């Protein structure tokens, strides 16, 4: 039995997978992020651990026999976050997350200090990445910076608690800006530019390799056998890719999580920094991917459902599903930049905008506008990757994939079929469990797209209307850019 742990931004998800790749049970625990200042985003690593303990208790209770048979664990998690440890491995401050925009100035300074930065890292320096955060800390929290002995990514801090070793893997390390992504090793040049060196970095493995053994004391307390192995695992997006079987060039997915992601496996290391496209290592050796990342996606829908007093996202999504096409055409437009944006704008200052509000607009119209705005952002991301237009079906994953209506709208916006696998909201946890299975000797050939689910074809009757609204959406950003 294989355990997948996915440390998402809005919740921690666990999944048990058997050796025949069947999902046996899942459990989760909610998490929240703090915004101590506008544009900042932080979480306390102790809350991640408390969430893990809670979800473990739920999973043990739900599937006791399967739980006791766990032989390997895979980790997945929100990327880029900076967990800072002192000489005794104690956390020095709350982790600064992937959607924190405080380090915009430091990005420019870092690229100036290392003119080769985009070639080495394959990526544009963007505020959510880990390196600019450390540059910000060096400037604004100098005493704390001097005490940093290790910098870990969120899921790798969980690994430290699980096995006592500081280890990361290539896919998540790609999002630090300290990795030479093509060569798959730490870059001394990028580290030095941030006042750091390799001793402060975790050891690197591949996602499908082994990375330690569960601590004996923890195994005993959790009722697991001794010797449970840990796999390298992956950043949550590469993990989702493994979860939906995206291992060959051209395969990929759209994710509606707290963030929005368009992810495609590439045929090699293909940097496109000028478009704010991410070019990262995949979770498998000698494999890379590209992705376009939005900083608010299903989180924007959660926000509008709270704002409109809807019972929850599910009930607002059900109202949106009933909205006739004529009402959709009259709905306001929404720019979904509630946390700034990465792809394609790389603009931490961008903010959310509704335009065209009228007395007749109700919660469903606003909910539709948010779903549509997120979809246009993903279309912009596909364009940035040179992948807009018809193509192979992509999977739809993440919490927002619970809404079939949102998936239907997205398929029409992207002009591509989308398939919604049965376990779409836990694709990353599934990928983590699959990486544990691969590290334990499983065969890559058996990592395939999950069977079942729903295939969503683009609805041609909506496309002319959506194209016109997309053109207005793009023009709006350009018109408003100077005002953010
Ligand atoms: N039926 C639904 N329709 C639209 N959005 C939903 C639905 N159910 C959950 N969500 C949204 O999904 C998000 C959580 O997605 P998830 O992939 O679990 O995020 P993360 O991995 O970042 O924690 C929440 O913001 C929530 O509002
Ligand atoms: O920053 C990125 C990817 O570059 C985000 O995709 C994070 O990895 C957070 O993921 P979710 O919590 O939205 O799944």
Mutate to test the pocket of ligand 2, among 78, 126, 431 (most ligand atoms within 8 A of CB): 78
User: Is there a binding annotation on residue 423?
Assistant: no
- Rounded Cα distance between 67 and 14, Å, is 11
Question: Could you tell me the pLDDT band of residue 220, with boundaries at 50, 70 and 90?
Answer: very high
Mutate to test the pocket of ligand 2, among 103, 156, 253, 258 (most ligand atoms within 8 A of CB): 258
What is residue 466's predicted lDDT score, i.e. its pLDDT?
Answer: 98
**Tens digits of per-residue pLDDT, 363-413?**
999 999 999 999 999 999 999 999 998 999 999 999 999 999 999 999 999
Ligand 1 centroid–CA 11 distance in Å is: 9
Residue with tokens 């080769």: 116
pLDDT at 100 over 90: yes
* Chain length of the chain: 484
What is residue 479's predicted lDDT score, i.e. its pLDDT?
Answer: 98
- Rounded Cα distance between 158 and 7, Å, is 9
Residue 236 among the catalytic residues: yes
What is residue 448's predicted lDDT score, i.e. its pLDDT?
Answer: 87
Mutate to test the pocket of ligand 1, among 99, 336, 400 (most ligand atoms within 8 A of CB): 400
**Tens digits of per-residue pLDDT, 140-197?**
999 999 999 999 999 999 999 999 999 999 999 999 999 999 999 999 999 999 999 9
Question: Could you tell me the pLDDT band of residue 133, with boundaries at 50, 70 and 90?
Answer: very high
Going along the chain from its start, the domains and CATH numbers come out as: 2-238 (3.30.420.40), 298-418+457-483 (3.30.420.40)
Whether the CB of 81 sits within 6 Å of ligand 2: no
Whether the CB of 240 sits within 6 Å of ligand 2: no
Question: Could you tell me the pLDDT band of residue 354, with boundaries at 50, 70 and 90?
Answer: very high
Task: Return the bridge partners of 292, or none.
Answer: 262
What is residue 451's predicted lDDT score, i.e. its pLDDT?
Answer: 76
**Tens digits of per-residue pLDDT, 17-62?**
999 999 999 999 999 999 999 999 999 999 999 999 999 999 999 9
Q: Omega of the bond prior to 19 within 30 degrees of 0, cis?
A: no
What is residue 449's predicted lDDT score, i.e. its pLDDT?
Answer: 85
Catalytic residue from among 28, 156, 236, 380 = 236
- Rounded Cα distance between 446 and 18, Å, is 13
Ligand 1 centroid–CA 78 distance in Å is: 14
Closest C-alpha residue for ligand 1 atom 19: 257
Q: Quick one: average pLDDT of 339-361? A: 97
Considering every ligand atom shown, identify the ligand nearest to the alpha carbon of residue 12 and give its number.
Answer: 1
Residue 80 CA: which ligand 2 atom is closest?
Answer: 1
Considering every ligand atom shown, identify the ligand nearest to the alpha carbon of residue 127 and give its number.
Answer: 2
- Rounded Cα distance between 410 and 412, Å, is 5
Question: Could you tell me the pLDDT band of residue 244, with boundaries at 50, 70 and 90?
Answer: very high
Ligand 1 centroid–CA 85 distance in Å is: 31
- Return mean pLDDT, the chain: 97
Residue 297 CA: which ligand 2 atom is closest?
Answer: 13
- Rounded Cα distance between 293 and 80, Å, is 12
User: Is there a binding annotation on residue 483?
Assistant: no
Question: Could you tell me the pLDDT band of residue 81, with boundaries at 50, 70 and 90?
Answer: very high
Ligand 1 centroid–CA 258 distance in Å is: 7
Query: What phi and psi, each to the nearest 5 degrees, are found at residue 300?
Result: -70, -35
Ligand 2 centroid–CA 76 distance in Å is: 11
What is residue 450's predicted lDDT score, i.e. its pLDDT?
Answer: 75
């Amino acid at each position: 039995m294989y355990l997948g742990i996915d440390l998402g931004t809005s919740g921690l998800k666990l999944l048990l997978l058997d050796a025949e790749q069947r999902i046996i049970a899942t459990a989760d625990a909610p998490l929240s992020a703090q915004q101590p200042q506008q544009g900042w985003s932080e979480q306390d690593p102790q809350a991640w651990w408390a969430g893990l303990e809670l979800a473990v208790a739920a999973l043990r209770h739900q599937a006791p026999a399967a739980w006791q048979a766990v032989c390997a664990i895979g980790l997945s998690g929100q990327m880029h976050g900076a967990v800072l440890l002192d000489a005794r491995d104690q956390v020095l401050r709350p982790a600064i997350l992937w959607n924190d925009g405080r380090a915009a100035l430091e990005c420019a300074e870092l690229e100036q200090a290392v003119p080769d930065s985009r070639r080495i890292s394959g990526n544009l320096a963007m505020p959510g990445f880990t390196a600019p955060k450390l540059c910000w800390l060096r400037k604004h929290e100098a005493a704390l910076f001097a005490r940093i002995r290790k910098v870990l990514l969120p899921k790798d801090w969980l690994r430290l608690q699980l096995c006592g070793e500081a280890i990361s893997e290539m896919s998540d390390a790609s999002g630090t800006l300290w990795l030479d992504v093509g060569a798959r090793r730490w870059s001394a040049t990028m580290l030095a530019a941030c006042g750091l060196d390799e001793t402060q970095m975790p050891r690197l493995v591949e996602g499908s390799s082994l990375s330690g053994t569960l601590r004996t004391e923890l195994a005993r307390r959790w009722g697991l056998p001794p010797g449970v192995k840990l796999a390298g695992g992956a950043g949550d997006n590469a993990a989702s890719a493994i979860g939906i079987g995206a291992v060959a060039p051209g395969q990929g997915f759209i994710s509606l999580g707290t963030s929005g992601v368009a992810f495609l496996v590439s045929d090699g290391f293909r940097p496109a920094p000028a478009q704010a496209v991410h070019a990262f290592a995949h979770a498998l050796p000698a494999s890379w991917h590209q992705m376009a990342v939005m900083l608010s996606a299903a989180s924007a829908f959660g926000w509008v459902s709270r704002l409109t007093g809807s019972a929850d996202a599910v009930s607002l999504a059900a109202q949106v599903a009933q909205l006739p096409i004529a009402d959709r055409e009259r709905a306001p437009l929404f720019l979904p930049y509630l946390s700034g944006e990465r792809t394609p704008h790389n603009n931490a200052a961008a903010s959310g905008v509704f335009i065209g509000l009228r007395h007749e607009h109700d919660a469903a119209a606003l909910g539709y506008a948010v779903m549509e705005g997120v979809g246009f952002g993903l279309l912009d991301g596909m364009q940035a990757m040179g992948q807009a237009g018809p193509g192979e079906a992509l999977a739809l994953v993440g919490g927002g994939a619970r809404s079939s209506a949102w998936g239907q709208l997205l398929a029409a916006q992207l002009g591509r079929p989308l398939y919604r696998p049965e376990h779409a909201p836990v694709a990353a946890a599934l990928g983590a469990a699959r990486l544990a299975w691969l590290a334990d000797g499983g065969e890559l050939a058996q990592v395939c797209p999950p069977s079942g689910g729903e295939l969503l074809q683009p609805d041609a009757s909506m496309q002319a209307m959506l194209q016109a609204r997309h053109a207005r959406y793009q023009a709006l950003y350009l018109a408003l850019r100077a005002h953010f």
